[in-house]
Amino acid sequence: MIDWQDKLSSVVQELKPSGIRQFFDIVATRKDCISLGVGEPDFVSPQVVIDHSIQALRDGYTHYTGNAGLLSLRREVSRYLEKEYGLSYNPEKEILITVGVSQGVDLAFRAILNAGDGVLYPEPCYVSYDPMIRLAAGVPQLVHATAENDFSLKARNIAEKVDAHGARSKALFLNYPSNPTGASIGKDELLNIAKLAEEKNLIVISDEIYGELSYEEKHIPFPTLPGMKERTLLLGGFSKAFAMTGWRIGYACGDENLIKAMTKIHQYSMLCAPTLAQIAAEAALKYALGERDKMRDEYRLRRDLIVKGFNDMGLKCFMPQGAFYVFPDIRGAGRTSMDFAKELLEAQNVAVVPGTAFGASGEGFIRCSYATARREIEAALTKIAAFVKG
Ligand code: PLP
C-alpha cells in the first residue's frame, strides 16, 4: 500500500479547494437554477473565429508551433496593443503566447520567485493567485482592497504590506478591472502605485484580462504609465472580451529577459499553446473587434440593470467600472456570505458566489456575474428581492 500522504507534495496537500468549485458542486445538483455564478461569457465565440479555425483544421494545421507561439499571432497582438493603447512590444522578443492568462500567471511566478520571496496582491481576488504563489515557493502578501473605497486598490494599503511576514517583496500583482468586484483603478491612484513600485523596486505583474471590458473610461494598462513598461509584465487574453474561454489562449508581454525566462519553462512544461487556439486568437484580433464591442455594450446594459436592481432592493451595490461582476453588500442581511448564498439557493433556486470564495475580506458580500441574458438577470433579481424581503 502506498501512503499518499507521504508521497504527495506538502504544498499541494495544504492548498484549499477553490471556494467557487466547492459552491458549484452544490449548484450542479439543482434543476432549473438561475445562475449568476459563472465567470464566463454566455456568448458563443464570434462566428468568424470558429470559421477560421475549422478551415485551419481542414488545411492541416494540426502540428506544434514554436515555443513562443505563431509569429503571425504575436505580430497581431503587438499591433492590437499599439492600436488600442499606444503600447509597443517587439513580437519577436517581448511577447509569449500562453495557455490562457492562467498559464501566464503560473509562468510569471515560477520565472521570478526564489523560495521565500514575497508577492503583494490584492484581496478579494481571483482564486488562483494565492495557490500559484505558493506552488512557486513564494510568500503571499495580501493587500486588502476595502469596501469603503468600493474595492479599488490604494497605494497606501500596498505600502503597508511591503516585506510583510518577514519576506522581501519582489513583485506586486495587480488585477483591474477586478474579479470579483468589477472595480478598476483610476489614473491618479495608478500613478501612486507606479511610484511605489519604483521606490520599492518591485516587478509588477498586471492581470488585465478584463481591460477591454471597461465601460466609462478607457482602460489604462499599467505598462503605459511613465517608467513602468520595463518593470511590468502585462497579461492579457481572449477568454472574456472575445468570449473564448474554452480555447485556452492568452499572451504575456514584457521585458525580453522575463519573457525569455518564462519561455524556458514553457518549452518544457507546455511546449506551445494549442495551435488551433492560436489561429482562432489571430482571427479574433483581425476580424472580431466589432463583435467584441457589441458584447461589451450588452454587458454595460446588464451592469446598469443589475446594479439598479440590487440598490432598489436595499442591498447596496457600487457601480463597477469593468469586467462582468457586481459585488453587492449583504452585511445588513444578518448572515455570512456563505449562508446567504446557500439559503438563497435553497429558497429561490438562484446561485450567487459567496464573497469569501475570493478571500476572507469578501465576507459580507456576494459576487454576481452579469454574463447572462437580461431576462435571466431580471428573473434572478425578482427572486433575490423576495428572499431579502422574506
Ligand atoms: N484572471 C482573472 C482575473 C480571471 O477572472 C480569470 C478567469 O476567470 C483568469 C485570469 C483566467 O483566464 P484564462 O481563461 O485566460 O486562463
269-287 pLDDT, tens digit each:
999 999 999 999 999 999 9
How far apart are the C-alpha atoms of 344 and 364, rounded to whole Å? Answer: 15
pLDDT of residue 224: 98
Cis-peptide into 180, omega within 30 deg: yes
How far apart are the C-alpha atoms of 256 and 96, rounded to whole Å? Answer: 10
DSSP strand E in 51-201: where? 95-98, 118-123, 139-144, 169-175
Determine the atom of ligand 1 nearest the C-alpha atom of 105. Answer: 10
Which residue's alpha carbon is at the smallest distance from atom 7 of ligand 1? 39
| Mutation probe of ligand 1 site: the residue of 77, 99, 102, 358 with most atoms within 8 A of C-beta | 102
For residue 227, report the distance from its CA to the centre of ligand 1, in Å. 27
For residue 388, report the distance from its CA to the centre of ligand 1, in Å. 31
For residue 312, report the distance from its CA to the centre of ligand 1, in Å. 31
State if residue 250 touches ligand 1 by the CB under 6 angstroms criterion.
Answer: yes
Domain ranges of the chain: 4-44+290-389, 47-288
For residue 237, report the distance from its CA to the centre of ligand 1, in Å. 8
Which amino acid is residue 148, in one-letter code? E
Which residue has cell 501612486?
192
Sheet arrangement for strand 353-354: 325-326, 366-369, 353-354
Determine the atom of ligand 1 nearest the C-alpha atom of 103. Answer: 16
**Class of domain 47-288 (CATH, top level):** alpha beta
Residue from 39, 87, 130 nearest 324 by CA: 39
Write out the chain's pLDDT in tens, 390 residues: 899 999 999 999 999 888 777 777 777 888 889 999 888 999 999 999 999 999 999 999 999 999 999 999 999 999 999 999 999 999 999 999 999 999 999 999 999 999 999 999 999 999 999 999 999 999 999 999 988 888 999 999 999 999 999 999 999 999 999 999 999 999 999 999 999 999 999 999 999 999 999 999 999 999 999 999 999 999 999 999 999 999 999 999 999 999 999 999 999 999 999 999 999 999 999 999 999 999 999 999 999 999 999 999 999 999 999 999 999 999 998 899 999 999 999 999 999 999 999 999 999 999 999 999 999 999 999 999 999 998
pLDDT of residue 256: 98
| Mutation probe of ligand 1 site: the residue of 97, 209, 244 with most atoms within 8 A of C-beta | 209
pLDDT of residue 23: 72
Superfamily classification of domain 4-44+290-389: Aspartate Aminotransferase, domain 1 (3.90.1150.10)
Fold match, 4-44+290-389 / 47-288? no
For residue 5, report the distance from its CA to the centre of ligand 1, in Å. 31
pLDDT of residue 31: 87
For residue 101, report the distance from its CA to the centre of ligand 1, in Å. 6
Residue from 206, 209, 180, 183 nearest 193 by CA: 206
